Amino acid sequence: MNKVVLTALLSLFTMSAVAQFRMSYNDDSPLRKLQYAEVAITNLYVDSVDEKKLVEDAIRGMLNKLDPHSSYSTPKEVKELNEPLNGNFEGIGVQFNMIEDTLLVIQPVTNGPSEKVGIIAGDRIVSVNDTAIAGVKMSKEEIMKRLRGPKGTKAHLGIVRQGIKDLLKFTVVRDKIPVKSVDATYMIRPGIGYIRIGNFGATTYSEFLESLEKLRKEGMESLILDLQENGGGYLKAAVDVANEFLQRGDLIVYTEGRKTPRTEYTADGSGIFQKGKVVVLVDGYTASAAEIVTGAIQDQDRGLVVGRRTFGKGLVQRPIDMPDGSMIRLTIAHYYTPSGRCIQKPYKKGENKDYAMDMMNRLKSGELTNADSIHFADSLKYETLRQHRMVYGGGGIMPDEFVPLDTTLYTKFHRELAAKSIVIQHNLRFVDNHRKELTTRWTDFADFKQNFEVPQSLVDGIIAEGEKQSIKPKDEAELQKTIPYLRLQLKALIARDIWDMSEYFSVFNESSEMVKKALEMIGRP
């Protein structure tokens, strides 16, 4: 291939998604070099190559040499990543789980397309559009693909229902199904509300505001905001949530980068919970947007933080859409809490393995079990803006009250039972077999929470199934240590299946040391 042909081929290159950027096409420019390499490989390499994959690998290679959070996603990956943040997907609207290879409906989505046609909890979906999905070892991902589809399309479902001999047929018209990011809302004690946010998506703020208003009507004076395991999401959602707690003009967060000028986000004074005690719960998986909310509340002395050091993601990614629907998420700035902290934890460009192992390193160092194991340089010391309390930057947000990870709570025996899905499978069977009895007897959640006892037969069945699969406790002591937590987990799961996630957390939180500490702090003068 001569230079003329090669140049002609290169002239066809377009990049509409980044047309706003200045690009150099000089013979010695890096971009020109990359183009020559791609064209040469595609046209001259000894074996056939997938040009699309070649380019994608090159993009990933470039991004891998940058920070740990710059990334490339294919069109399919973009859709999957956006669904939980956009607040909806299109499908039939059921919460389900698998019992062996059969899809069991846990709950139809309220006012969703499945509920509207009469599908109920406990139904088994055995076919979709005349294709069997039960008894054929179909993967969960493949089943989801068949159930989801564009709004307005029809799914013809074959359903087996307890007590009904014949196969039931339903036609469900797919629709947009809401995906909630507020996992739980309830009054944990008189005057004290509890809200758990799972991520920060497009609908988070409206859900959060609805939760706040509900709890205020129920007499909430103080709030526990649970951001444990919240991996973040949209910056705007985090700013809007933080705004509900802060006074007019209070700085929430600011961003700044090499090519990105400083941008400040401040409270507008319209928040409905500017007074009243606030405690934020965090752990090592609290990240990004969740750290923005935590940092704002801590730095403005609006509330206290309980738990363990947060993840430490202080990098802002800009999505760059490509013509084929793929996307680059490129880090363009750092974000800073009101006191000026950048809480991004250290990393070396192109060395993402150590970064990914950070949580394991924290466990090995003793940080998760002993607050004294955490050390910060004096250069990382900052002060809160009102009370001038000492806080630290440079690697996540340190809580005001440390709660160690209870490494004795989860025994090896329990972890193995859970890993094999033995606990969840037996719980599903129990609820499925006793659904009518459970929903008839336990109509009031407060009564359930106070008086329901997990049957010994359910616990025995789980232990027996574990033994069948060569999962046994090390000794009697490990067995006795496992059973109380197992009972608690089962009770919470049964509450979830009868009601929803708020009831699940209402049961589970009664044993949480983090929640106990938060309640203690709210009770202080």
What is the DSSP-derived secondary structure letter of residue 399? P
Buried b or exposed e, range 169-180, using 16+ CB within 10 angstroms: ebebebbebebb
Catalytic-labelled residue, pool 277, 313, 481, 517: 313
What is each CA distance from 358 to 137, 222, 309, 362, 451, in whole angstroms?
Answer: 37, 34, 12, 6, 42
**Is there a catalytic annotation at residue 326?**
no
Q: What is the CA radius of gyration of the chain?
A: 26
HSE value, Cβ hemisphere, 13 Å, CA-based, for 504: 13
| E-state strands within 74-142 | 88-91, 94-99, 102-108, 124-128, 131-132
**Is there a catalytic annotation at residue 313?**
yes
**Is there a catalytic annotation at residue 288?**
yes
Q: Please provide the size of the chain in residues.
A: 525
Which helix (H) or strand (E) element contains residue 398? none
Instruction: Tell the burial category of 59 from Cβ atoms under 10 Å away from its Cβ (0-12, 13-18, 19+).
Output: middle
Q: For residues 445 and 459, what is the distance between their CA atoms, to the nearest angstrom?
A: 22
Q: For residues 13 and 93, what is the distance between their CA atoms, to the nearest angstrom?
A: 43
What is the DSSP-derived secondary structure letter of residue 241? H
Catalytic-labelled residue, pool 71, 73, 222, 288: 288
Q: For residues 248 and 292, what is the distance between their CA atoms, to the nearest angstrom?
A: 17
Torsion angle of C-alpha atoms 473, 476, 481, 484, degrees rounded to 10: 90
Region of 17 (left: φ > 0; alpha: ψ -120 to 50; beta: rest) is alpha
Catalytic-labelled residue, pool 226, 250, 283, 299: 299
Looking at the annotation, which residues are catalytic?
288, 299, 313
